[in-house]
Amino acid sequence: MGRRIASAVATASLVGALGVAGAAPALAAAPAPLSFTIDYTRNTSIPQSPSLGGGFAGNGPVLDAWGRVIGRTFDTCAVDGIEGPTKMDADCGAYIIFNDGDELNLSTQAVIDANPMDYPYRFKAVVEGGTGVYNGARGEATVTAERPGVYKVDVKFS
Which pLDDT tens digit goes with each residue over 47-74?
A: 666 677 788 888 999 999 999 999 999 9
pTM of the model: 0.77
Per-residue pLDDT averaged across 130-136, rounded? 96
Residue range 10-20, pLDDT digits in tens: 444 444 444 44
Q: Is the peptide bond before 47 cis (omega within 30 degrees of 0)?
A: yes
Taking CA atoms, 9 is separated from 20, 23, 149, in Å, by 16, 21, 68
Contact at 8 Å (CB) between 39 and 63? yes
**Helix, strand, coil in percent for the chain, rounding step 5:** 20, 50, 30
The CATH class of 34-157 is mainly beta
Confidence of residue 24 (pLDDT cuts 50, 70, 90): very low
Contact at 8 Å (CB) between 106 and 93? yes
